[in-house]
Structure 1
């Protein structure tokens, strides 16, 4: 006789492989971009899988897919789980998709074992979260929450010049007829997700329980000096943009290392002009990505960072322009749901860690309106957004077990 964990392992792996076939990229990994053929094929396949598990399915206007199990007492209240269906280019099989498959498997199991719950149950496959095709993010959950803006996206283009409004219509969907409305009957949202880091693996934990999602501030920094001859311009007379930029980056990252977790700082892009070996650089442009779980600390650190960059520019006789293009505040998860998941793990003797998420998720938007929490499972070597993305089936199954019992507590009790 097979134990539940063995049954779950086999089922989850089978379903993840089944949907991966719909968006396999010849160049490697999975590419499932919003409203592409691969995206449509995958949503249709997920709809079939939901129906095989006995769920009632429907699409909303923009292509979010829902699988529902009706409650028998509190039919005006819904407990929801799920994640996003889209991927980055040449991504992995698990990011986003694990949360959808975990939700389908959990609801199918609960239906078979317990029948209807007191509340409705739903699993959602959100249309988009990554921003990989069009310059917009969280399109699925924004529409679910009623905070989408048609005017912002209608005429934006992808890398091939395809306009958003044409892509949505080609896929068989449309913009919502009335914006600003959100579902009022959803009382809790749980998102299962791979960690996308290596903390759980290093600490040998089976489950991560997310109690907050870090806030993010992202910057584009432009340093302007004077390009000049590398041999004839004395060091003391140079207006070296690259030198100034490198001092800024090095000091900011050193300071972030000093403060330590949960602060992280990343300079992920740099461009130097004229980028010639025998010319003093006249211009340097770089990015900074700063994250922390406390809004006041994030604000204080970034204000000090900007002040330091201006001082450095003055010392190096260059000019600096700092443009903040993202300012997402930290988002706490719901304490009652976090406590519920902890109790489930304790009861099942599962090794877990309460932790924050440094990456963005649909849950960070949803948590502002609906009680929300996240369940992480380990990512091997911390890899994500990559064809080598992998989570051992043991951990995939553990995540679903925890999701099942957590939903049971919220729905059937």
Structure 2
């Protein structure tokens, strides 16, 4: 098993996270920004020093390859996304790139040239932080991104997507993707939750990424005087909302893990102390690893909302605007990860991912799995995001051993 140095992990993460659009705490590296270009170029130099062949595709995804000795056309890949959220942490996305670098570099130094090719993937974008489009990097790898989805969108400063892309030196794919042939893809990522920390585990082997459904719900009742309108005559949207929330959350608790449901983004009109609220808008996010269970709970959500609005004579608009299916990981690669963890006595737990990742785009196309390392207090998308390097070591060792098993 590789000897992974915590000091080297910290050194690499401090270096890459310092490349930011903004000064101060946290990392802000948005798609096609100056720091995004700088980071990709810096990684290119790092990988070339390790004698890897570095290539870019048209949109800016980067691929660094150690060619295999026997079947170089067979690719075993690892990596993650190079972009961040605004004021993000030092680990999200970029840890997966640096972990792949440390694992592959260490394997080549210890065992020599692999039989199959090993590849690091530094994906252009995953977060959707600058433009209203997510997974631009991974979707382009497989030819899934559509020009019409981005050609008219702009960032918060009014800069068109196409302008930013071309000023960074990239453009749309003009031919079929040619970096999409892989025998396996393994992504290492911080958990962005507190399950591993609470369970006192160092490695999470992800067997599925949850499916997600998201709703925007609008209620229209009747605004009226807060003092003179008797309770029995009110068409109070907050009263209706409260009953909807209570019943749906109670049902979710009754069903139990891994189902989750979250109510957020609430707007009330008029939002004042002395008027019965007549209109409101709110969001619902629900997730599960099983498609039928997710569909069944969504039906319950819709029926519950309909019931309470009809009982109170409140008009309803309900928009299901996200409907992503659960994505299982490849069982053979999950088995490989379990095997190497058991053989090397790594402290692991098989689990699911409650957040979305590039691996959900990869998994329907190539055999894919994920490795999680703990997150302190589950904090992510925040400058306080942190994991001690000693708690990352076993995750990189699990990654390296799995890549060895698959490529040597």
Q: Shared fold (TM-score greater than 0.5)?
A: yes
**Alpha-carbon contact 1:195-1:376 (below 8 Å) kept:** yes
Distance 1:129 1:184 in 2: 17
| From 142, 146, 153, the counterpart of 1:145 | 142
1:108 paired with 2:78, answer no
Are the structure 2 counterparts of residues 24 and 164 from structure 1 closer, same or farther at C-alpha, using a change threshold of 3 Å? closer
Q: How does 1:4-403 map to 2 (within 5 A)?
A: 5=3, 7-23=4-20, 25-26=22-23, 28-178=25-175, 181=177, 183-403=179-399
Asked if the contact 1:19–1:42 (Cα under 8 Å) also holds between the matched residues in 2, the reply is: yes
Deviation at 1:255, TM superposition (A): 1.3
Q: Secondary structure in 1 aligned to 2:73? A: strand
Given that residues 77 and 120 in structure 2 are in contact (C-alpha distance below 8 angstroms), is that contact kept between their aligned partners in structure 1? Answer: yes
- Distance in 2 (alpha carbons) for counterparts of 1:128 and 1:23: 15
Are the counterparts in 2 of residues 27 and 90 from structure 1 also a CA contact under 8 Å? Answer: no
Q: How many residues align?
A: 408
Aligned partners of 2:2 and 2:107 also within 8 Å:
no
* Partner residue in 2 for 1:406: 402
Q: Measure how far apart 1:182 and its partner are.
A: 5.4
Mark the runs of 5 or more structure 1 residues left unpaired by the alignment.
Answer: none
Gaps of 5+ in 2: none
Shift of 1:28: 3.0
Question: SS at 1:131's partner residue?
Answer: coil
Q: Which deviates more, 47-56 or 372-381?
A: 47-56
Q: CA deviation at 1:250?
A: 2.1
Provide the secondary structure at the position in 2 that maps to 1:246: helix
User: How far, CA to CA, are the matches of 1:356 and 1:8 in structure 2?
Assistant: 28
Q: Deviations over 1:36-68 (max 9, x none)?
A: 111111111111221222211111110001111
CA deviations over 1:247-270 (Å, ceiling 9, x no partner): 212221221122111000011211
| Cα distance in 2 for residues equivalent to 1:182 and 1:131 | 24
Task: Give the TM-score, by structure 2 length.
Answer: 0.98
| Contact 1:229/1:278 (<8 A) preserved | yes
SS of residue in 1 equivalent to 2:306: helix
SS of the aligned residue for 2:91 comes to coil
- How large is the Cα RMSD of the aligned pairs? 1.3
1:165-210: CA deviation from partner (whole Å, max 9, x where unpaired): 001011111111135x454531100000000000100010010000
Separation of aligned partners in 2, 1:274 and 1:25:
38
Q: Deviations over 1:69-112 (max 9, x none)?
A: 00011122100000011111111010001100000111111111
Verify the 8 A CA contact 2:141 2:180 in the aligned structure 1. Answer: no
* Contact preservation (8 Å) 2:215, 2:322: yes
1:123 is paired with a residue whose SS is strand
Q: Structure 1: how far apart are the matches of 2:193 and 2:21? A: 24
Query: Do the aligned partners of 1:146 and 1:182 also contact (CA within 8 Å) in 2?
Result: no
Distance 1:396 1:229 in 2: 58
